[in-house]
Structure 1
């Protein structure tokens, strides 16, 4: 714990601040508070004696995208985008970030205090188990959708192995929402079909037919996922989610020790490898140039979150709050022809306000909720997020012995796709997020309640306090 604390809270921020052009002031001091808060919380997750996947995803994003990256921007007065704000707006953005982190920590503490209470929604949901025939049906449906949808893309399958630019030009990205949704409708079911097929429980008596069908479908689904979920043509956050769910749902990574090792590798990878993982974004690839952390954080478009928050605060000053914007993600499927006043995607609205010609920008959840109604909305949203995240982590830990439960599969997916949710915009990602959450419900069923056997009079009653916890193994 001491080593992680020194690295995350002392060494890395000091390396960023140790620049000749560092500008110290109230804003930079507030940002140091954010870095210390996020770094301390991430240290606790990386050294915890339990597996906390949802907390890992949240604090990695908070520490890197809204902690170190803004620290580098404020210290050097260098930003990846052209729009500039005053010191008061920058201070407000840093304070808004810390407000969200405090609310999230408060929600986590509230969930910890009420850990003994039964969750009426999450516990029955996450205790659902995979069932063979719905899983096989999803596998078949994924392959049929692939045969129908993929040949319609301009450039064919080759576009999926060229670059994100080539796939965008084929109409499968955000410029054509219909085709983009078609590709997601293949990618998400294909991902869940592969994960479910790998984790489908074997029947005690054996089933040759099921085993044979499984081995027939597995190569086809692997090939399909290589096509539609590869890191060359798909967004890095989504491709990373696919790979990390396959990794962290593996039973070898269900122990706290294995989790700590994998989480440490993930954190280091996000810090030092992620900035160079966009090599395949464009057709014409430039030579990879290794930059310092300060240069990378203050110049790369991947870290526009803090600057977009500043833009959003100025946007609210000029236009006021927009409570109706909260309806956009909820009613995202309603076409604009029916709803002419449908809210604009927040990242696009901020880009137009700042005068940018390009609109593919983020809108972190902090500024999204602030746009809806100010600080109270931020506090409410992040408190609920912390409460739900801690409950999910606790339930997955309690059900650790069941590798075919929804907890073992859905919690890692939510934990790592959470980075996309936090980065925003909500309206841009709510479609894939809905697919990610809904598809597993159709391939799982509620566990059969087992009637407790009558206790034999010859056996003494179990002593209080020594009953095994469900989902945990007893060790001799």
Structure 2
């Protein structure tokens, strides 16, 4: 714990600050508190005696995107986007970040105190088991969708190996119908492959099931290479696919294996993530390795903190937008039927800042702040912390049951959580809902509800048994 805390709280921040001309102020002081809080939370997860995937995803995003990156920006007053704010707004953004972290920690701590209690929401849900017949039906549906939709795409099969830059220039990436078709292919194909790997054996023998599995697995693997590759799909989604395959494997369900894998993932996100957009563009230049602080200051992947500053200025000028919650909840309603439907927060902030490009983030911190200020931020992150802790605890208890929903769904949410936290919510809520609901359709309620074992009590002192008809001697 001391070693990890030193690395995250002292060494890496010092490595960033020593390479630049630091401009110290009130906002930077609060940001140092944010770095210490997020770094301490990440270190605690990496040294826990249990596997906490949801907590790992949250603290990893908080530490990198809202910890180290803003630290470099505030120290140099250099940002990846053009919009600039004053010291007061920067201080408010750093304080808002810390408020969300405190609320998340409080919610997680409250849920941890009830660790022995049964969750009426998550326990029955995550205890569901994969059912062979629905899994096979999903495999068939995935292949049928591939046969129907892949040839119909503009460019056919080749379009799935086209860079996102080319898709954006052709207008395909901004086409809602095109995006829905791609997600309708990607998510079922992914879950069909994962479920087929973990489907339980039949009590009456599984010779036929094993034969079907060996036939379908190569086909589904090929399909996933086509529809879930990192060339045409976002890096966060391609990473989620790989990480779920890794952590759903039983060998990586132990705390020791989790710590090793999580440390490797944190290293990759810190040092390799900025260069992972190599396939995004048609004209690929040679990779130029630069200092970590320079990456944070210039790469638009780290626009989260600057977008929070933009959102705070937006609220000061236009007030809060409580109706934006309805836009997220009713995201499926088309704008043709709802002309006054709230816009996507990232796009709205980009328009407010005067940008001519709209593919920007809107972190959950500023999303919830736009709904109703600091109280909404506290409520949202307290609930998120409690839910995340409950999910982690239930998965830990069910980790020896590889065919339960907990073993599959918790890793999926944990790592797609990076997209959820980055926002905008209205842009990602559809894929997130699809990611979480498809597994429910291929699982069935456990035959015997899982019950939390009661604490072991010491055996009572046992005396000599009295033989009927005989007097017991003292």
TM-score under structure 2 length normalisation: 0.94
Distance 1:140 1:235 in 2: 26
Cα 1:239/1:20, change in 2 over 3 Å = closer
- For residue 332 of structure 1, report the CA deviation from its aligned partner: 0.5
Match of 1:440 in 2: 439
Distance 1:150 1:168, change over 3 A: farther
Task: State the alpha-carbon separation in 2 of the partners of residues 235 and 40 from structure 1.
Answer: 29
Q: Distance in 2 between matches of 1:304 and 1:450?
A: 45
The answer to which of 99-108 and 9-18 deviates more is 9-18
- Is the 1:171–1:180 Cα contact (8 Å) retained in structure 2? no
Structure-2 change in CA distance of 1:106 and 1:247 (3 Å): same
Aligned equivalents of 1:218 and 1:114: distance in 2? 41
Tell me, what secondary structure is at the counterpart of 1:289? coil
Determine if contact 1:46/1:260 at 8 Å carries over to the other structure: yes
- TM-aligned CA deviation for residue 153 of structure 1: 1.5
**Which residue number corresponds to residue 457 of structure 2?**
464
CA contact under 8 A between 1:153 and 1:171: conserved in structure 2? no
Aligned residues: 456
Query: What is the CA deviation profile of residues 282-307 of structure 1, one whole-angstrom value per residue up to 9, with x for unaligned ones?
Result: 11112110010100011000000000
The separation in 1 between residues aligned to 2:450 and 2:249, in whole angstroms, is 30
Report whether the alignment pairs 1:362 with 2:361: yes
Deviations 1:226-283 (A, max 9, x none): 0111111100000000000000000000000000000000000100111100001111
User: Aligned with 1:360: secondary structure?
Assistant: coil
1:206, CA displacement in angstroms?
2.4
Q: Is the 8 A contact 2:124 2:449 kept in 1?
A: no
Q: How far apart, in 2, do the equivalents of 1:75 and 1:287 lie? A: 29
Aligned to 1:316: 315
Cα distance, 1:368–1:137 mapped onto 2, change above 3 Å: same
Residue 113 (1) aligns with residue 113 (2): yes
Structure 2: tracts of 5 or more residues without a match: 460-474
Q: Distance in 1 between matches of 2:314 and 2:157?
A: 42
1:284 and 1:386 map into 2 onto residues whose CA distance is 42
Q: Does 1:37 align with 2:37?
A: yes
For 1:189 and 1:450, the matched residues in 2 are separated by 27
Relative to structure 1, the CA distance from residue 465 to residue 104 in structure 2 (aligned partners, 3 Å threshold; closer, same or farther) is farther
Question: Hey, what does 2:66 align to over in structure 1?
Answer: 66
The aligned counterpart of 1:229 is 228
Counterpart residue number, 1:52: 52
Task: Report the secondary structure of 1:381's partner residue.
Answer: helix
For residues 59 and 463 of structure 1, what CA distance do their matches in structure 2 show?
A: 34
Q: CA deviation at 1:171?
A: 5.1
Residue 208 of structure 1 deviates from its aligned partner by 1.9
Q: Work out whether residues 163 and 231 of structure 2, in 8 Å CA contact, stay in contact via their aligned partners in 1.
A: yes
Name the CA shift for 1:367/1:451 in 2 (closer, same or farther; >3 Å): closer
Encode CA deviations 1:33-87: one digit per residue, 9 max, x unaligned.
0000000010000111100000000000000000000000011111000000000
State the Cα distance separating 1:204 from its structure 2 match: 4.5
Q: Distance in 1 between matches of 2:458 and 2:237?
A: 44
Once the two structures are superposed, the pairs formed by residues 301-312 of structure 1 within 5 Å of their partners are: 301-312=300-311
CA drift of 1:162 comes to 2.8
Equivalent position of 1:291 in the other structure: 290
Contact 1:164 1:234 (8 Å CA) reproduced: yes
* Residue pair 1:126, 1:407 contacting (<8 A) in 2 also: yes
8 A Cα contact 2:369 2:377, kept in partner: yes
**Unaligned stretches of 5+ residues in structure 1:** 453-461, 467-476
Question: CA separation in 2, counterparts of 1:323 and 1:253?
Answer: 42
Is 1:331 paired with 2:330?
Answer: yes
Root mean square deviation of aligned Cα: 1.5
3-state secondary structure, aligned to 2:232: coil
TM normalised by structure 1 equals: 0.94
Q: Distance in 2 between matches of 1:320 and 1:294?
A: 34
- Which stretch has the larger CA shift, 311-320 or 14-23? 14-23
- Tell me which residue corresponds to 1:471: none
Which residue does 1:27 correspond to in 2? 27
- CA distance in 2: counterparts of 1:154 and 1:171, whole angstroms: 11
284 and 108 in structure 1: CA distance in 2 versus 1, 3 angstrom threshold: same
Equivalent residue, structure 2, for 1:459: none
The answer to whether the 8 A contact 2:244-2:412 is kept is yes
Q: Distance in 2 between matches of 1:121 and 1:432?
A: 22
Conserved 8 A contact 1:153-1:170: no
Aligned to 2:97: 97
**Aligned-pair CA distance for 1:167:** 3.5
